[in-house]
């Protein structure tokens, strides 16, 4: 059987993309075929090229707020790479229900909270403000509703008394780099039940 083809969409530094790409070697059933960004200046583009993965930007700002035209351009580049799976990895645009519907069950996202808690932005700050004792990250299927698709895996950490927004961001990100590749491997093998990881290491 041929390898599953994986595209990664990002907007930022691409550390999750790098973890995913580095995991797809050897007996892994998938291979990276494209890294795509909505921002030409995203650090993840250079990082992908350094890893030998084709990297393309579709500059959202060039479409002057016309989401339909932006998504059509994104879809064209994506479809040329013929991915079987799409991984959102710090992709900071909300995709329209129509766009998402075309990838139903084949698009994953990583989110820096224990969903269903803290959908959306500023998750680390909101955990601290709520005085919560646990935090983490979630990989889920992307559906039309933001950060609400079926959960495929979560990594949980304890919030420490001296944690700040920055320390939580760093500790959660380190867990993302373990969780996302683990979930991708399972999905590529046809396993969809939730994977639960506990603790910092």
Residues that bind ligand GAR (CB under 6 A): 10, 12-16, 44, 89-90, 110-112, 173, 176
Find the length of the chain: 201
Direct distance between the N- and C-terminal alpha carbons of the chain, in angstroms, rounded to an integer: 34
Residues 140, 148: Cα–Cα separation, whole Å: 8
Contact yes or no for 34/78 (Cβ under 8 A) = yes
Give 32 or 44: the residue with its C-beta nearer to ligand GAR.
44
We find the least distance from the C-beta atom of residue 126 to ligand GAR, in angstroms, to be 12
We find the least distance from the C-beta atom of residue 88 to ligand GAR, in angstroms, to be 7
We find the least distance from the C-beta atom of residue 4 to ligand GAR, in angstroms, to be 21
Annotated active-site residue in 28, 111, 118, 140: 111
Tell me whether residue 28 is one of the annotated catalytic residues.
no
Residue 101, phi then psi, degrees to nearest 5: -60, -35
Give 77 or 174: the residue with its C-beta nearer to ligand GAR.
174
Residue 101 corresponds to which tokens in the numbers above? Answer: 């519907």
CA 115 to chain centre: 14
Give 80 or 165: the residue with its C-beta nearer to ligand GAR.
165
Give 118 or 185: the residue with its C-beta nearer to ligand GAR.
118
Residues 67, 8: Cα–Cα separation, whole Å: 20
**Strand ranges (E), 94-199:** 107-111, 134-141, 151-158, 195-198
We find the least distance from the C-beta atom of residue 110 to ligand GAR, in angstroms, to be 5
- 15 sits in the region (left: phi over 0; alpha: psi -120 to 50; else beta) called alpha
Q: Which residues are catalytic?
A: 111
């Amino acid at each position: 059987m041929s390898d599953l083809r994986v595209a990664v969409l990002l907007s930022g530094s691409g550390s999750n993309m790098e973890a995913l790409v580095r995991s797809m070697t050897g007996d892994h059933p998938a291979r990276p075929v494209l890294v795509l960004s909505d921002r030409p200046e995203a650090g993840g583009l250079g990082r992908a090229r350094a890893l030998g993965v084709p990297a393309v930007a579709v500059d959202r700002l060039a479409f002057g707020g016309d989401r339909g035209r932006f998504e059509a351009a994104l879809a064209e580049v994506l479809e040329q790479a013929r991915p079987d799976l799409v991984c959102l990895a710090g992709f900071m645009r909300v995709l329209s229900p129509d766009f998402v519907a075309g990838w139903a069950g084949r698009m994953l996202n990583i989110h820096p909270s224990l969903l269903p808690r803290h959908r959306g932005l500023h998750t680390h700050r909101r955990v601290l403000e709520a005085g919560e004792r646990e935090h983490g990250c979630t990989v889920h299927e992307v559906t039309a509703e933001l950060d609400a698709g079926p959960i495929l895996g979560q990594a949980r950490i304890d919030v420490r008394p001296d944690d700040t927004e920055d320390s939580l961001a760093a500790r959660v990100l380190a867990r993302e780099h373990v969780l996302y590749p683990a979930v991708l491997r399972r999905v590529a093998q046809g396993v969809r039940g939730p994977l639960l990881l506990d603790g910092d290491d």
